[in-house]
Structure formats: C-alpha cells, structure tokens
Structure 1
Amino acid sequence: MTHAPRSPHPPHPPLAPASGPTRRALLVAGAGAGAALAAGCAPGGSPGSPAATPGGSASTGAASGGLTPGAMTLFKDPAYNFNGLLALGAAGAGAAEVGEVLTAVNAINGSGLSAQTFVETFRSLGDQLLKAPPGAPADDQSKRFRALRAAQYYGQALFFVLGSDDPGSEERLYRAGRGAWDTFCDLCEPAAVKATVPYGSTPLPVWFFRPDASGTPRPTVILTNGSDGQNVDMWTYGVPAALERGWNALVYDGPGQGQLLFVDRVVFTPTWEKVVTPLVDWLAARPDVDPARIALTGLSMAGDLVPRAAAFEDRLAAVVAMPGCVEPWLGFPGEIRQILTPDKQQTNDIWNKRVVPELPAAAAAVMKKRFEPFSVPAMLEARQGRLFTDFYTPATRIRALSIASVIGRIKAPTLVLDYEGEQFYPGQPRRLYDALTSPKDYVKLTAAQGAQLHCSPMAPQLHCEVVFDWLQRKLASG
C-alpha cells in the first residue's frame, strides 16, 4: 500500500457576506458550475468538466480531455460521458454488454445528444432486455443476466430523466429498474435473501447474497451506495468479488437512496450510524454470518457516510472509503456554496430572485438532480418540471454531512481510496487519511492503470481487486 504524505487540510469555505455573492459570481454558478455539479452522482461524475476544488475554483486538467482520451470519450458532454463509461465498465461484472452500450452511444449521438435521447435510448434497451433474446425463449440463466443489464440501463435513464420531456416518469422508471434488479436477485443461485431491516418508521430493504445455502458462518461485506447510485452498481463494485472469495455481501437502500427516496420519500441523514447499526444487528443474528468479520464499504459520497458510521459502530472489522470524503458540501462549486447564508429567507431570496432567473436550462436540470436526495419538495417539484424554491434546507442538510469532528473516533482498520483526476472531492481522501488515528492505508488509482476519475468507472474489476485483497488481509483472522 502507498501511504499519503501529510498535507494541510483544505480551508473551509467562508460564508457569503451579508449582501450575498455578486451577480457575476451567481451567473458563473449557473453557467460554469452546471457541468461540475452534473458530476456529483454516485458513483457518477463528469470527467471532462471543471472539477470543483475545496476553495471553489476549477481544475482545467480534466476539462482538457486528457483523462478521457480517444475511445474514452463516448459523448462530448462530460456528464453523459461519465455515465457511459460507468455502463461500459460494468460489462466485466455482467451488468452491461459492450456492444449494447456502444450501440446505444452511437444511436444517441446520431439523434443528437440530449437528456431526452439518452433517457429514451437506455429505457428502450432496458425494456428490450426483459423480453426473450432472439432465436429462442430465455432460460433462467439468460433471464438472470438480461435482467441485471436491464437494471443497469434503467439506472442510466433514471439519472437524466428530470431533464427529459417526461420528468414525472421518475418513479415509474425507478420501479422498472428495481423490478429488473429483483428479478435478477430471485434467479441467483442461491437466490438472494430479500428482507427489510428496521429503521425508524421506514424499514430498509436489503438483499443478502451468499456463496451457498450451507449456513456456514462467513465474513460479510456491507456495500454502501452513494448519493444516487442504484443497486446494480453495488453488484459491479463488490458482490461478485465477495462471493468469489467465499464471503457474503449485503446490499441495501438507506435514506436518500433507491426505494427510500423515490417511493418512501425519505432523504439523507447525517447520522449514518443509525442506518448501519440495524444492519449489523440483522447480520449478527444470522447463523451464516461471522459477527467478528463484518466489513463496511462506501462508494462515492458513501466515502463520507461509512466513516461516519464507523465512528459510532464498534463492531466493524474493517472499513473502506471509496474515495475518502470529509465534507460533501465542498464537492459543490464555490459559487453555489456562496448562495447559502446563515439566514434562510436571505438565502432563498438570493436563489429565487438572483440565481434562478439567470440559470441555464441544463444547469437547472443539474440542480434538480443534485438536490433531490436532500429535499422531498425539491424532488416533487422537479417531477413537475419546476425548480425548487427552498435552497436553504437541502443545502444545510448537505453541509451537515461533514464528519470532520468525528474521524478521530474511528477504531476499525480503514482503507482510503483516491483517484487520479478525482473531480468531486479533490484533496479530501488525503484529508480523511491524515485525520484517522486507527490502523490505515491509502491507495491512489491512476490513469496508467486505466483507473482514473471518481470511482474508477472504467476499471471496477481492478477497483474490487484492490479493495477485496485489502479486506482479505484484514478479515483473515477475524
């Protein structure tokens, strides 16, 4: 493992002055920050967009195209390109087909890239895969992996649906992807255990994968998604790697994710330990789980959620942050962060009177997507084609996700991943690593490995090799 050199923490952004940011800054926020904001998905991102630095300035390295040269540029727009790369990378885990993805890319580019063409193309591809393949009826094995690929393509469409001509179809599109995912899980051998785990008034749906049904106690990995990834991403980023090593894997929807967001309308919480502790309780009660060898991984923004949980849940044997993140709010451009002032009315006046009227349509669509996991009203307004009017509440919720004050409480061995060209949390993986007092390792994946950019979208297999080889050493003796 390569350990990071010590580096100073990036400064906290100052609050906007009482008069609010300048009109020029707000226009920059609307036009210039839109592409950077479009990258804040989980595990999404936008390799060609300017990356927001902790101070709010933009890095031009990614914008030059140097990190997605040649065939790595599927779409000229960097946000769409990142999603295309994610789909392409998932092929190694059976969660996509190279020919299907590239054919969809050609069709979208041929029709003219837009949210509408992207959504229509990938939704149609999902629909097609739920039918029998050409030539013969599908057996269960074919149905299984066709459903997994359908879940991937519905997820691709879901990410951009709020910018399409039919934003109100968001929940239906989520349900289509969820249905495909459940079909896949039912056809696994053995079938994934589907259950719910108590969490407040809204139980957490879980999918428990086992190498076999023998009941042998095994190491278990809890796989945590980010701000708007789907279950199929957790397959790509961990379930097969766990099963191949003879371990169990647990996939779940937490608040702000999947079913809890799109159907139950529950937004993110900064106290993620209240999500993870019931999961550990549920696992520890199972005879096929070794309670001394439960690990927790977090992809994208979950690189913040998972360390937070580990600071309060002491039963975890190992923790992985992919990438490490201390303050998700710093992943937003500085021009956007300046809108938030200590006063709710002033903040919302700035947003509604000075920002929204000048916000380009593409940037408005980005803001709808970025803020919906933190505000049910924002999500419902977006589904009606409108931009939210309350900026203060979701922005305050995002800022509350900071884990700076609790990192020192973490006791479990922790692996912090970083990526060359990390667009959303640059500098934050090292900041987390430096602040840890538990046993720790730091690994940076690089362009030379084809593993650049947030969450290594083109190299999830290498990503899993790094993570699970590290976990193997930590979990070997319990």
Structure 2
Amino acid sequence: MGDQTSGPSRRGALAGLVGAAGAAVAAGCTAPRPRYTRRPATVRTSPVPAPKAGPAPGVMTLFDDEGFNFSGLWALGGAGQGSADAGEVLTAVNTINKAGLSAQTYTQTFRRLGDRLTKEPGNARPDAETMRFRALRAAQYYAQALSCVLGSEDPGSEEALYQAGRGAWDAFCGLCDPAPVTDNITYESTPLPVWFFRPDASGRARPTVILTNGSDGQNVDMWTYGVRTALDRGWNALVYDGPGQGQLLFVNRVPFTPSWEHVVTPVVDWLLARSDVNRAKIALAGLSMAGNLTARAAAFEERIAALVAMPGLLEPWLAFPKQVREILAATKDETNNVWNKEVAPKLSRTDAAILKTRFEPFSVPAMLAARQGKLFTDFYTPAKLIQSLATTNVVSRIKVPTLVLDYEFEQFYPGQARQMYEALTAPKDYVRLTAATGAQMHCSPMAPQQHCEVVFDWLQQTV
C-alpha cells in the first residue's frame, strides 16, 4: 500500500465494513419457461439497481443482521426441496432472536435441532423414508451451525460439527433408493469423495451433471440446488468435495486450489468409465464461488458438454471491500506487519470471527488458529491464493455452451456475472433472477426450485 494510507484511517475504514465483507464472502426470473438458443442471447443493458435498505431487500427479515439473515433464508428456502422444514427453521429463528442473536445462539440452536433429528421421533416408529428426510434436514441444520461455529464459545468443535453433518448426509444417502454410488477418486495425494446419484439402477446411459459447491457450502446444498431436480428429470448427478471443501478442508486439511481443472478432470475420468453415463452429455455446474471454479475447469477440460455458472464471476477477491483488499501489499512481510500491528488488534470479535471463517478454506494455519480461538497472523498467503482464483484471462478459452446466472440485489459479486457473460466467446445465455418472483439475492436463497427450473430447462435444451 502507498504511504498515503495511514494505519489509523485504514482501521477506521475497516470498522463497519469487515462485517459486510463477511456477508459478501459468506454466501424475479425472466419468463417462467425461457427459450434458449445456441447463439448469444440478448440481455438487458440497464444497470443493476441499488439494494434497498435492510438486510433482505424485498424479502422477509428473519434476523436484523444481514449475514445471519441470508443464512436463515438459505435454510428456509430448502424446505421446498425437502432439505429443511419451514416450521423447524422459523422456530429456530424465534429461539435465537429470543435468546439474543449471536454466533453462539445460532450455532447452539441449529446444532441442537440437528441432534434431535438424528434420533427417532418419540411419538411413532418411523419408516425409512421418514428417517431419510430427517437425516437430510439434520445435515442442513448442522451446516447452519458449522457456518458460525468459529465465532461461538467452542470453535474447537468445528471438525466434530462437520462430522455430525457428514454423518447425517451419509445416513440420508444410505436410505435413498437407489443409494448413490460412493467412491474416492484419486486427486494428487488426497482422494476426492464422490456421491453419484442415479434415477434408478437400470444401468441406462443418462446425461449427467457434475454439481460443484462454493467456498463454504455443504453437500446438502447440492441436493437443494440440483440433485433432486436432476433425478426428477432423468439425469444422473455427481456431488463431490474438492480442495477447500467438506472432508478435504475439515479433515484432510487441503485448502483451495486455483487449478480447478485438475480437480474436475479425474471426476470426468471416473464418469467416463461408467456404462450408465452418456459420454457426450456431461455438464458441469458451479454454485456460488464455484461459478468461478467451474469456469476455470471448463476452460481446460474439453470433455464437458455444457457449463452453468451460478452466478458467473471472474474475481472472488473482489468480494472483499476495498479496505480489506488494500491490506495486501507487495511483500509478505509488509502485508503481515500491517495486518498484525495495525488491523487485527482493532477488529471486533464479530469481525474477527467473520474473517476467520472466510479465510480458513484458503489457509490451514488460519483454520487451526481459529479452532483455538485465535486470529491468523499470516494474511498474505491466503489473500494471494484468493487473488489467484481470478479467471479473467481464461474465460475466453471456454468452448462449450454456457449459461450465466445473475441475481437482482447480488450482494457478494455484483456486476461480475455480466462481465463474465461479455467475456465469453462460446455460445452463451444470460438469465437474471429477480425480486418479482422472490428469486433475488445471491443464489436465490428463497427460490431454489425456481433456480433449478431455469438451470435444468436450459440443460435439457442444450445438452
């Protein structure tokens, strides 16, 4: 940073903005049955309107805090896909607000809800279908607790909380009919766990979508945003944990990589070895930050038939406000000196917890420090890794038809979907989901069914 930016002014700018950054990196439709073509689509050129005041522009407010509210809406939205129950979520919201909203009350309430659902209900002997969807909802609620655990009074329980959610997910999968095929795919020195869902066990070769999570999503989100819809439409769906996600992050301690094609290529290899996969019809979809990761993969992996970026984005680093990005200086020593002496000591507990959560997928030392209740001391290394995820220079290499989603009131990556769309040279389409149908904000948290309808209508016509 230049000398013109003093430490005190930088700290002052950070106050009140770091929280927005945490929300920014956390996490109406066009015509109901849009027509898609393989030629560049005509898109609206008017600017994205500024968000309305309040934590949830145009939708219900569950919590006064924008970040917590988005998480709550995300959980509530899963009700339509069976990965949450509206009554359970709203009761949890009331419990949290009555106790006083905090990372502690949020984590504790959703963890207890997950614990309750992993047990048999006391009023009846449940059948397998009841226990299956109780397990899926438990996975959702554990994921909600996991998202805030580093700001709670027990950050050291993070891995155990992840394992609880993973256990619920695996229990759900084991009760599916047919159960997904599970495997560990070779990736460098750490296997990638995969779950391969099929509509039935007939062995028929079907189109397949590879569903890719973002920076802090869990497998249950892939059910909500693709698996269920894929199965209903006769598609296979593959879910996997990549570097910086799920098992690879919380257990194997492997952070994100900018070379996502090295992750997707062995997944494609695995699919192509199966007789129940149509080799010419393998699509790749990325949710949240994976809109960036999958674009990188599609630029180099030529066996993909189509790409869906949900949303399109080019530079995840820009999700942090300028004042946070300006901490990153030319050298590691200079950066970390500013971070440790001028910025970190002045962060509030809330802002520190947000940055711990947002940086841990990019730095194992940051994750381990956070589990001990400490703030990371090396800002430079994870910041450079996040910065390296930029795909600005490779998007033009993508050759396959691509659908770019955008969202009215996109609070995390505003403007980037349109920028990605314009940078593409492949056949492309652009769809903006809007507040007119309750599908606004990042990834349409209140409208995952609409979201999936748009994606799979396009995939059906394109692939």
Q: Distance in 2 between matches of 1:22 and 1:322?
A: 37
State whether structure 2 residue 83 is matched by structure 1 residue 95. yes
Contact 1:37 1:333 in 2 (8 A): no
Contact 1:221 1:295 in 2 (8 A): yes
State whether structure 2 residue 382 is matched by structure 1 residue 394. yes
Unmatched 5+ residue regions in structure 2? 28-47
Q: Distance in 2 between matches of 1:32 and 1:254?
A: 30
Using the TM superposition, give the Cα deviation of residue 308 of structure 1 relative to its aligned residue in structure 2, in angstroms.
0.2
Distance 1:18 1:35, change over 3 A: same
Alignment of 1:51-62 (within 5 A): 61-62=50-51
DSSP 3-state at the match of 1:366: helix
State whether structure 2 residue 457 is matched by structure 1 residue 469. yes
State whether structure 2 residue 69 is matched by structure 1 residue 84. no
DSSP 3-state at the match of 2:147: helix
Contact 1:192 1:208 in 2 (8 A): yes
Using the TM superposition, give the Cα deviation of residue 30 of structure 1 relative to its aligned residue in structure 2, in angstroms.
3.9
State whether structure 2 residue 257 is matched by structure 1 residue 269. yes
Alignment of 1:157-306 (within 5 A): 157-306=145-294
1:315 — aligned with what? Answer: 303
Q: Distance in 1 between matches of 2:257 and 2:52?
A: 33
2:403 — aligned with what? Answer: 415
Q: Structure 2 counterpart of 1:249, which letter?
A: A
1:64 — aligned with what? Answer: 53
2:122 — aligned with what? Answer: 134
Distance 1:225 1:417, change over 3 A: same
1:341 — aligned with what? Answer: 329
Q: Distance in 2 between matches of 1:66 and 1:232?
A: 25
2:14 — aligned with what? Answer: 29
What percent identity do the matched residue pairs reach? 66
Q: Distance in 1 between matches of 2:130 and 2:55?
A: 39
Contact 1:218 1:289 in 2 (8 A): yes
Q: Structure 2 counterpart of 1:84, which letter?
A: G
Q: Distance in 2 between matches of 1:324 and 1:262?
A: 27
DSSP 3-state at the match of 1:238: helix
C-alpha distance after superposition, 1:239-280 (max 9, x if no partner): 011001111000000000000000000000000000000000
Using the TM superposition, give the Cα deviation of residue 424 of structure 1 relative to its aligned residue in structure 2, in angstroms.
1.1
Using the TM superposition, give the Cα deviation of residue 19 of structure 1 relative to its aligned residue in structure 2, in angstroms.
6.5
Contact 1:253 1:260 in 2 (8 A): yes
1:378 — aligned with what? Answer: 366
Using the TM superposition, give the Cα deviation of residue 40 of structure 1 relative to its aligned residue in structure 2, in angstroms.
1.2
Q: Distance in 2 between matches of 1:279 and 1:468?
A: 21
Distance 1:112 1:290, change over 3 A: same
Contact 2:404 2:430 in 1 (8 A): yes
Unmatched 5+ residue regions in structure 1? 1-15, 43-58
Q: Distance in 1 between matches of 2:288 and 2:14?
A: 23
Using the TM superposition, give the Cα deviation of residue 408 of structure 1 relative to its aligned residue in structure 2, in angstroms.
1.0
Using the TM superposition, give the Cα deviation of residue 172 of structure 1 relative to its aligned residue in structure 2, in angstroms.
0.2
Using the TM superposition, give the Cα deviation of residue 69 of structure 1 relative to its aligned residue in structure 2, in angstroms.
4.3
Q: Structure 2 counterpart of 1:65, which letter?
A: G
2:25 — aligned with what? Answer: 40
Q: Structure 2 counterpart of 1:215, which letter?
A: G
Aligned residues: 443
Contact 2:75 2:84 in 1 (8 A): yes
Using the TM superposition, give the Cα deviation of residue 358 of structure 1 relative to its aligned residue in structure 2, in angstroms.
1.0
State whether structure 2 residue 143 is matched by structure 1 residue 155. yes
TM-score by length of structure 2 reads 0.94
Q: Distance in 1 between matches of 2:20 and 2:162?
A: 24
2:37 — aligned with what? Answer: none
State whether structure 2 residue 63 is matched by structure 1 residue 75. yes
C-alpha distance after superposition, 1:421-472 (max 9, x if no partner): 0011111101100000000000000001100000000000000000000000
Q: Which runs of 4+ in 1 moved over 6 A?
A: none
Q: Distance in 2 between matches of 1:292 and 1:391?
A: 43
DSSP 3-state at the match of 2:208: strand
DSSP 3-state at the match of 1:40: helix
Contact 2:24 2:413 in 1 (8 A): no
Distance 1:134 1:330, change over 3 A: same
Q: Distance in 1 between matches of 2:112 and 2:389?
A: 37
Q: Distance in 2 between matches of 1:365 and 1:301?
A: 20
Using the TM superposition, give the Cα deviation of residue 61 of structure 1 relative to its aligned residue in structure 2, in angstroms.
4.2
Using the TM superposition, give the Cα deviation of residue 31 of structure 1 relative to its aligned residue in structure 2, in angstroms.
2.9
Using the TM superposition, give the Cα deviation of residue 63 of structure 1 relative to its aligned residue in structure 2, in angstroms.
6.1
Using the TM superposition, give the Cα deviation of residue 167 of structure 1 relative to its aligned residue in structure 2, in angstroms.
0.2
Q: Distance in 1 between matches of 2:49 and 2:153?
A: 32
Q: Distance in 2 between matches of 1:76 and 1:66?
A: 6
DSSP 3-state at the match of 2:148: helix
DSSP 3-state at the match of 1:297: strand
Return 128-137 or 451-460, whichever deviates more. 128-137
Contact 1:408 1:435 in 2 (8 A): yes
